[in-house]
Amino acid sequence: MSSSVEIRKLTTPQELFEAAAEEVGRAANLAVTERGRFSIALSGGSTPRNLYNLLATNARSSLPWDRMFFFWSDERHVPSTDPESNYRMADEAMLSKIPVPAGNVFRVPAENPDAAAAATAYEQTLRKFFTPQSGQLPRFDLILLGMGPDGHTASLFPVTPALRENSRLVVANWVEKLKASRITFTLPAINAANGVAFLVSGADKAPALHAVLESDAPGEQYPAKLVRPIDGKLIWFVDRAAASQLTK
């Protein structure tokens, strides 16, 4: 069992995206060489869009796209055509521009009016893809995550029920402040990964990043603090603005 935490401080957002793209490429090529395939869970929101654009343009020829398998670490409870959809964002920014077989893309069935049923179906999709040994959890090669100004990650928002889920892999999570359901990986699913990479950019994230990395604030208040891969690598890609309140 070995876990490591690395904080990569980049000066500008562009440098952050370039460093993250390099890590995705490294991890993808290594996984395909070692195991014949690379499983990645994409994060949503606005930050990763630039990374996905970079991967679709600069890395277009250097990645083993046909051996790469795409999932989402969370999804809004909307159809895939909705402007809020994390699938739609990744499809527009990357998937529609690269030679990845349609069968390699596993989106969350978030069009289902029953968010809990969508989460259950997605959990089955994970179990079918990874076919984990009994008692084992699906182990993603890489899970990408963002962090909100409130310290949430995926759709694990402060003081929400999903934070306490310790056996399911995917759940629906009602987020009162958004007055909306989300579908999200749980902490067991995230912490089982071989690698987890946070992308955190912008001054609005600085207070939460300090709280997560340098304070003893409770994880319930700052869920990103609860991401600790059991036997995997955790890398924080942060830019200067987001890191402005870090003391180390």
What is residue 71's three-state secondary structure? strand
Secondary structure of residue 246 in the 3-state scheme: coil
Contact call for residue 43 and ligand 6PG (CB under 6 A): yes
C-beta closer to ligand 6PG: residue 138 or 146: 146
Locate 216 and state its tokens. Answer: 């003893």
Residue entry with tokens 């996905």: 52
- Half-sphere exposure of 229 toward its Cβ, with a 13 Å CA cutoff? 27
Closest CA to 202 of 147, 245, 239: 239
The nearer residue to ligand 6PG, 100 or 208, going by C-beta atoms, is: 208
Please give the single-letter amino acid code of residue 94. M
The residues near 134 (Cβ < 8 Å, ≥ 6 apart) are: none
State which residue has the least CB distance to ligand 6PG.
146
Question: What is the smallest separation between the CB atom of 106 and ligand 6PG, expressed in angstroms?
Answer: 16
User: Footprint of ligand 6PG on residues 218-237 (CB under 6 A)?
Assistant: none
Q: Does 118 bind ligand 6PG (CB under 6 A)?
A: no
Give the SS3 label for residue 109: coil
50 is a site residue for ligand 6PG (CB under 6 A): no
Cβ 99 to ligand 6PG shortest distance, Å? 26
Among 50, 112, 153, 186, binds ligand 6PG (CB under 6 A): 153
Q: Which residues bind ligand 6PG (CB under 6 A)?
A: 43-47, 74, 86, 146-148, 152-155
